[in-house]
């Protein structure tokens, strides 16, 4: 009987040892931003629209669910979108990069994303980039793991702890353009985005200017005539839209600036909690394994004919039971750290209240309904366009 337990006991013992020896290699350095060496003229610069990232609350890893707070994650969606915009704009490889709260169909390049994990130690996100024709440039998961020194005031740089992740996305976007997109294709993308914007306001006129091919990619069928008065009015509308969205960038900037200090502190403490919880989980797992192994050893000893082994079995069984009990008590300690982190999340929520701004003699409250405000703005633009067309029609009679 004892011979039968020996292999299992050995395997459990080795598993307990290996559970304590696993380590993750981390670094304080991050990927630098890359710039295009070729001189680009303004007409070859693609503008980029970035949607507010999805919070990914349904995609949280099971071992990180207790470290995720919905209010904090919603704030992170703005923070991540704005920081990615900053990385792309600072690279100098693109035109204007904007965080856009609504439809991106008329953007030269449209970026959407989902935060999959964010716990102070690791940030993972799924990023999808496509151009105005519908062609996908990037559909990829990105991850960055930082060390505790990223939160050390003596070591911190001015950049965000996870700046490397945003730089990787920006570098991949540039690399794709350099490999796959010619100057003619850049101009085509810009043309399609202009037509897409015009279709939003005058579909009866511009619907047949583009068509989808069998792969769902938009192709230009024909172009508006030069100095077309309708196109000129549409272009005026687009400039007004840009002005509104540019004003929203100030809101996002203020929002991120206000949350930066408490959010950095939150992530620092979250990082510490992750380290404690992972260590507790590893200790708990090791003690559980060792406890089961000790109990199995004790049972085997009771079956042994060896007197010393037989009389020592109660001690082995008792120590095994203590190790398992200790594992459960460490689980309680782990929960205590989770509750401490939840309090941090509540305090952060208090520091990121919505803002109200004045825009063109209108008071706009920017909160969870920013998307609704932008939708109302687009409706107002449609009214302006309709009035312009009506006045132009009346003047021609």
Enter the DSSP assignment of 367.
Answer: S
Q: What is the pLDDT of residue 71?
A: 73
Burial class from Cβ neighbours inside 10 Å (0-12, 13-18, 19+) for residue 225 reads exposed
| Token couple for 124 | 């993972």
Q: What is the pLDDT of residue 148?
A: 80
- Full residue range of the structural domain in which residue 111 is found: 26-258
The answer to whether residue 128 is domain-embedded is: yes
Number of domains in the chain: 1
Q: 150 φ, ψ to 5°?
A: -65, -20
Give the Cα separation of 143 and 164 in Å (integer). Answer: 9
Scanning the chain, the segments in alpha helix (DSSP H) are 2-21, 70-91, 163-180, 183-201, 203-206, 229-302, 307-350, 370-396
Q: What is the pLDDT of residue 183?
A: 92
Q: What would the pLDDT profile of 38-50 be if each residue is shown by its tens digit? A: 767 888 899 999 9
| Token couple for 373 | 């405000």
Give the Cα separation of 246 and 230 in Å (integer). Answer: 24
Q: Which residues pair with 123 in a beta bridge?
A: 118, 144
The answer to whether residue 249 is domain-embedded is: yes
Give the Cα separation of 130 and 112 in Å (integer). Answer: 9
- How many Cα atoms within 13 Å fall on the side-chain side of residue 122? 18
The answer to whether residue 216 is domain-embedded is: yes
The answer to whether residue 4 is domain-embedded is: no
Residues 6+ apart with CB under 8 A from 385: 201, 202, 233, 234, 237
Residue the block writes with tokens 């970026």:
111
Give the Cα separation of 303 and 341 in Å (integer). Answer: 49
The answer to whether residue 85 is domain-embedded is: yes
| Torsion angle of the four alpha carbons 95, 101, 102, 107, in this order, in degrees rounded to the nearest 10 | 10
Answer whether 145's CB lies under 8 Å from 26's CB: yes
Q: What is the pLDDT of residue 351?
A: 46
The answer to whether residue 210 is domain-embedded is: yes
The answer to whether residue 376 is domain-embedded is: no
Q: What is the pLDDT of residue 252?
A: 84
| Token couple for 287 | 């003690």
Residue the block writes with tokens 């690399």:
175
The answer to whether residue 51 is domain-embedded is: yes
Residues 6+ apart with CB under 8 A from 117: 56, 60, 61, 64, 123, 124, 143
| Token couple for 15 | 């598993």
Low-confidence residues in the chain, pLDDT < 70: 1-29, 39, 63-67, 154-157, 277-369, 389-397
pTM of the model: 0.74
For Cα atoms 254, 30, 181, give the angle at the middle one, nearest 5 degrees.
Answer: 85
Residue the block writes with tokens 């990615």:
84
């Amino acid at each position: 009987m004892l011979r039968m337990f020996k292999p299992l006991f050995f395997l459990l013992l080795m598993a307990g040892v290996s559970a304590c020896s696993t380590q993750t290699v981390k670094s304080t350095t991050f990927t630098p931003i890359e710039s295009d060496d070729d001189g680009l003229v303004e007409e070859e610069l693609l503008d980029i629209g970035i949607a507010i990232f999805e919070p990914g609350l349904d995609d949280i890893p099971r071992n990180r669910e207790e470290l995720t707070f919905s209010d904090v994650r919603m704030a992170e969606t703005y923070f991540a979108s704005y920081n990615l915009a900053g990385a792309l704009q600072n690279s100098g490889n693109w035109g204007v990069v904007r965080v856009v709260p609504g439809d991106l169909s008329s953007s030269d390049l449209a970026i959407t994303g989902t935060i999959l994990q964010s716990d102070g130690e690791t940030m993972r996100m799924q990023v999808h980039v496509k151009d105005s024709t519908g062609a996908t440039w990037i559909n990829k998961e990105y991850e960055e793991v930082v060390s505790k020194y990223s939160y050390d005031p003596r070591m911190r740089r001015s950049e965000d702890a996870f700046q490397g992740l945003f730089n990787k996305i920006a570098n991949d976007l540039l690399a794709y353009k350099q490999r796959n997109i010619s100057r003619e294709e850049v101009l085509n993308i810009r043309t399609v985005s202009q037509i897409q914007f015009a279709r939003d306001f005058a579909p009866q006129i511009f619907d047949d200017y583009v068509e989808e091919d069998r792969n769902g990619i938009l192709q230009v069928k024909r172009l508006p005539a030069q100095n077309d008065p309708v196109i000129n009015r549409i272009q005026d509308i687009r400039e007004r839209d840009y002005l509104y969205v540019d004003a929203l960038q100030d809101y996002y900037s203020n929002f991120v600036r206000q949350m930066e200090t408490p959010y950095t502190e939150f992530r620092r403490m979250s990082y510490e909690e992750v380290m404690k919880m992972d260590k507790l989980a590893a200790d708990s797992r090791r003690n559980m394994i060792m406890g089961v192994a000790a109990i199995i050893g004790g049972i085997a000893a009771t079956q042994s004919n060896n007197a010393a082994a037989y009389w020592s079995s109660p001690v082995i069984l008792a120590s095994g039971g203590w190790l398992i009990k200790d594992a459960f008590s460490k689980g309680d300690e782990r929960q205590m750290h989770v509750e401490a982190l939840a309090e941090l999340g509540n305090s952060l929520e208090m520091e990121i209240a919505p803002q109200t701004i004045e825009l063109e003699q209108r008071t706009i409250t920017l909160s969870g309904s920013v998307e609704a405000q932008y939708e109302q703005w687009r409706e107002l633009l449609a009214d302006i366009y309709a009035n312009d067309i009506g006045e132009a029609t009346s003047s021609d009679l």
